[in-house]
Amino acid sequence: MRDAIALDDLLAGFTPPQPYTMAADIVGWLGRCEVRWQETDNPASTKEALVLALRPQFNRQMPKPRGVVPEGSA
């Protein structure tokens, strides 16, 4: 049940453009999208750079600034 509460909190300010979306609308939207993959030797660093650059709306975990030591670990 905790996951549902967290999802409700996350979506509280989000208002979809229409009251409902039909499957055909989703298929059409996906058909207009372009997806690419990038090979990398350091996936964690690549993910961090993407999250910091794009700031995804529903992402609650932002990367910690580099060089910062978490409290209690020094």
Q: Is the pTM of this model over 0.75?
A: no
- Identify the burial level of 61 via C-beta atoms within 10 angstroms of its C-beta, where 0-12 means exposed, 13-18 middle and 19 or more buried: exposed
Q: Where are the alpha helices (DSSP H) in 1-74?
A: 2-11, 23-32, 43-54
pLDDT digit string, tens, across residues 13-71: 666 666 677 788 878 888 888 888 889 999 989 988 988 898 887 777 778 777 656 66
Q: Which residues contact 52 (CB under 8 A, 6 or more apart)?
A: 62, 63
Q: Which residues contact 62 (CB under 8 A, 6 or more apart)?
A: 51, 52
